Structure 1
Amino acid sequence: MITLFTTGNEIQYLTSRIEQKLQHIYLDKYIQKPDIDEDKLYLLYKILSNTKLSQKQMERYIVTTMLVQIALDIHDQIPDVNNNQDKDVMIKNQLSILAGDYYSGLYYLLLAEIDDFSFINKLASGIKEINVLKMTLQEERTHLLDAHISNIKELESLLITHVADFVNESTMILVTQEWLLYNRLVKELKMKINNNTEKNSLGDFLICNKCNLTEKQLEEIILNKGQYIKELLSELPDAYSDAKLHIVKKLGCEN
């Protein structure tokens, strides 16, 4: 059993465990290594560390949830099919689809090892809701900003809020939803500044494009969200004091 002493060390350890699960000699040769969302990993860790779960249970829940997130992100990154694509590009896209399926299967294997079917059902329910929400966003005909932002906020945080609900730890749910939305908005602003239209893990659901937001309008929304998050953090109990400092520091870096 490995003893961990600081949040930084624990996050680093969890990252290494996820990376170990993601290793695949053939896939690593042909496609880019998937990204691990550090903010989602951090939130999962802080939520679960405030429960009575054992270290082993925490690790399994976090690693499997992050594998699901990575699998969903990979599927979002796959470009639309184009018959005029170069053969190598087509092969890479096909491998990306297989990689997403491969990573999805890993979390079932991990949970089966600990016979935790209730958690499997919880994550499966989350995946189903995410897919329904993505279809809603794709078919969405309204350009109402509040409605679109609300849907994106739910999409970004749904897996983590499902896990929080499963372990009966709701303290961080609102902060989680708002912080992940804030991060999403910041990513979109950077893309807009760089005129980046390439399909990536944001998929086809860009708020700035859907609602015709200008760079200035997006900056104003981000600023207001940052202030709101600080207000939410001030209401968190002392058990989350290090999480408060961590998020406030990250908010400061973005401003």
Structure 2
Amino acid sequence: MNSYRVPQLAKKYTDYDMIRQHTEIPSFPDSRARLLQAFVARTDEKMDQELYALATSLVQLAMDTHDRIDTRSGDRGEQEMRSRQLNVLAGDYLSSRFYQLLAHAGKIEMIGKLSGAVSEVNARKMTLYDRMKKLLISADEYLRETVQLRMQLFLSFSDMMRDEEKSLWTSLLKEFSICETLTEEMNRMRDNQQALHSYAFWHIYEHGNDGERKYLREMEIEPHVWGSLVLKYSVRKILLDKLRECTHRIQLLLQDEESLQDLHEIEAILEPYLSYVQTSHAE
């Protein structure tokens, strides 16, 4: 079994005092990176499995960091301005490390593929954000687009996979991207500061009454009101059910594929989500 240490290697680029003091690095794309390494390890490019997983994770972190830039107008305090500036600089810095890593290894073609994927992600984001701004998106559409955005960079490696495993790679990448998205949405749901344009926001906006929809359109969400809306519309249960269904689909994929006998890494990727479902069910 190949050892997985990509998150530890990434800390060389993310653990800077200035970044940690003034901003927060987004969640590491652990499931996707680990899945990528596991599949690349079965190809002719297996010597570069860790390099590809690390470089792609850094690009993902760079884009996710840029997404945290506050674009609201109006005056801000010094701390807010510094945090905004650090989000810009941190994202640019992480993106530059991806180029450096792959260029140093002579992987120019992969730089081109990932750069193209970044352009595709940005184009999809513009379309999504425009629909969100106009309040023209459903909760399920938001979820589908968010999952696709998580997949896009990692799909750059599809041509590299074995022909007999390409379909499986794509299916597992999609399912684990769904798992990542659902757990993150459940975490966002607990914090009214992160509630705007979350799955919970769109679900409540879609199913709420006129007064509730008007309240959400004002974009000033108070903790006690938000908590009552989340409870009223059973958002946690909906997300948890979706996560349970997703883990079940992954288990079926693992059962159906005889070629996966030596891919024990996938079970290790799945285990935290199974634990999450079981723990939540016991609460």
1:198 aligns with 2:209: no
Task: Select which of 201, 208, 220 maps to 1:209.
Answer: 201
Contact 1:137 1:205 in 2 (8 A): no
Aligned: 1:250 with 2:272: yes
Find the aligned partners of 1:239 and 1:191 in 2 and give their Cα distance.
36
Contact 1:143 1:211 in 2 (8 A): no
Tell me the residue number matched to 1:235: 256
> Is this contact kept in 2: 1:50–1:239, CA < 8 A?
no
Rg (Cα) greater in structure: 2
The aligned residue for residue 91 of structure 2 is 100
Secondary structure of 1:77's partner? coil
Checking the alignment, whether the CA contact within 8 Å between 1:74 and 1:96 is kept in structure 2 is yes
Matches within 5 A, 1:1-255: 6-7=1-2, 10-12=3-5, 14-24=6-16, 26-28=18-20, 30-33=22-25, 35-55=27-47, 57-140=48-131, 141-168=135-162, 170=166, 171-192=168-189, 194=190, 196-199=191-194, 206-212=198-204, 214=233, 215=235, 216-236=237-257, 237-255=259-277
When residues 144 and 91 of structure 1 are mapped into structure 2, their CA distance, relative to the original with a 3 A threshold, is closer
Asked if the contact 1:175/1:233 (under 8 Å) is kept, the reply is no
After TM superposition, the score normalised by the length of structure 1 is: 0.82
Contact preservation (8 Å) 2:69, 2:87: yes
Structure having the larger proportion of residues in helix: 2
Relative to structure 1, the CA distance from residue 32 to residue 149 in structure 2 (aligned partners, 3 Å threshold; closer, same or farther) is closer
1:240 deviates by 4.9
Structure 1 counterpart SS, 2:76: coil
Provide structure 1 residue ranges, at least 5 long, that are not aligned to the other structure.
1-5
The two structures, once aligned, show a CA RMSD in angstroms of 2.6
Distance in 1 between the 2:68 and 2:82 partners? 15
Question: Distance in 1 between the 2:146 and 2:24 partners?
Answer: 26
Displacement of 1:120 in angstroms is 0.8
For the residue of structure 1 that corresponds to 2:9, the secondary structure is helix
* Residue-by-residue CA offset, 1:107-128 (whole Å, 9 max, x unaligned): 1122221232210111011101
Aligned-partner residue type, residue 220 of structure 1: D
- Counting matched residue pairs gives 241
* Change beyond 3 A, Cα 1:54–1:246: closer
Cα separation, 2, equivalents of 1:34 and 1:179? 17
